[in-house]
Amino acid sequence: MNNPSTSEVQSYKKLLFESVFPFWTLFRKEVHRFLKVINQTVGAPFVNSALYLLIFGVSLGKSIQDYHGYPYLAFLIPGLMMMSLLNNSFQNSSSSIVGSKFHGDLQDLKIVPLSSLQIVWAMSLGALVRGLVVATVTITVSEVFYLVSYGKFLIPSHPFMLLAFCVIGGLTFGTLGIFVGFISKTFEHLNAVGSFILLPLLYLGGVFFSISTLHPFWQKVSQINPLLYFINGVRYGFLGVSDIPVGSAFAVSVLSLILLQLCAMYSVRRGSFQRW
């Protein structure tokens, strides 16, 4: 077998430098950005999770009917973890883009040797890392509450399905953040999307209640909400039961990721890079 020539080796190195290194740099930038404000990005979700668990899971949970033999606290933990993951993945990429618009350095993405697909994946992977970090913090706090309340840990029934839904969910909402970030003109626009669209969908996606307790009409309405499928997918990974068949939840989750990837790529190509 012939050894590669010097020119071929140099070509490989050039290709590696022009493709992998810029991708890794953008990904590292997104991760480093949220690590610089770790108290805000991780500390705040820690406090919020503890309050949700204390108020809903511990104080009110004992008066709520069990879910397929599981106490309400066990029902709450997967939904709360997924809510934290999705919300923080969205915030990471969307705030990065809008913040770059404010500082006037978003136009640098026009000259980097990366395709639209590479930009989207680098930023969405950075968002996924933040989402997984916050989800890990949330589940750690939750396990402490569950141990104190019931004397044992809540062990996931299907850990690989749990991980799959977490990764798909984080990537999906990371790409959603890219799309919303490019179409938002100001931080007010971004906050409006989070407060009036994303947050209601999260709260109505089955985080705090099972749709089986709703009237059949409202069950049908709830099934329009795509977040219901992400949350129930994680709940299946933890408990082995959910309100939605796991196959349907997985299909809707993957389809949402593909559609939002396309939207994010379009926004990178056609979106506004201009400073306000």
pLDDT for residue 115: 85
Quickly tell me which residue has 């930009």 as its tokens. 119
What three-state secondary structure class fits 62?
A: helix
In this structure, are residues 138 and 84 in contact, taking their beta carbons and an 8 Å threshold? yes
Most confident stretch, 21-30, 57-66, 99-108, 174-183: 174-183
Mean pLDDT is lowest, of 82-96, 202-216, 238-252, for 202-216
pLDDT for residue 7: 60
pLDDT for residue 13: 56
Residues near 236 by Cβ (< 8 Å), separated by ≥ 6? Answer: 157, 158, 161, 242, 246, 249
pLDDT for residue 79: 94
pLDDT for residue 92: 93
In this structure, are residues 234 and 78 in contact, taking their beta carbons and an 8 Å threshold? yes
- Rounded distance, CA 126 to CA 79, Å? 22
pLDDT for residue 162: 96
In this structure, are residues 81 and 139 in contact, taking their beta carbons and an 8 Å threshold? yes
pLDDT in tens, 71-119: 999 999 999 999 999 999 999 999 999 888 887 777 777 777 788 899 9
- Rounded distance, CA 126 to CA 123, Å? 5
pLDDT for residue 28: 92
Residue 214 pLDDT greater than 60, yes or no: yes
Residue type, 201: L
Tokens encoding 183: 């179409």
Residue 5 pLDDT greater than 70, yes or no: no
Residues near 168 by Cβ (< 8 Å), separated by ≥ 6? Answer: 230, 253, 254, 257
Computed over every residue of the chain, the mean pLDDT equals 87
pLDDT in tens, 167-178: 999 999 999 999
pLDDT for residue 276: 46
Burial of 231 (0-12, 13-18, 19+ CB in 10 A): buried
pLDDT in tens, 138-163: 999 999 999 999 999 999 999 999 99
Residue 12 pLDDT greater than 60, yes or no: no
Residue 38 pLDDT greater than 50, yes or no: yes
Tokens encoding 165: 């839904």
Residues near 271 by Cβ (< 8 Å), separated by ≥ 6? Answer: 182, 183
Determine which helix (DSSP H) or strand (DSSP E) holds 116, and give its type and residue range: helix 116-150
Helices (H), 151-226: 159-183, 187-193, 199-202, 216-222
Provide the percentage of residues in the chain whose pLDDT is more than 90.
50
Burial of 171 (0-12, 13-18, 19+ CB in 10 A): buried
In this structure, are residues 124 and 175 in contact, taking their beta carbons and an 8 Å threshold? yes
In this structure, are residues 178 and 120 in contact, taking their beta carbons and an 8 Å threshold? yes
Higher pLDDT pick, 256 / 66 = 256
- Predicted confidence band of residue 22 (pLDDT cuts 50, 70, 90): confident
pLDDT for residue 18: 59
Q: How many CB atoms lie within 10 A of CB 179?
A: 24
Kindly report the backbone phi and psi dihedral angles of residue 151, in degrees, each rounded to the nearest multiple of 5, phi listed first.
75, 20
Q: Could you give the angle at the alpha carbon of 129 between the alpha carbons of 46 and 107, nearest 5°?
A: 115
Buried-exposed string 97-120: b where 16+ CB fall within 10 A, e elsewhere? bbebbeeeebeebeeeebeeebbb
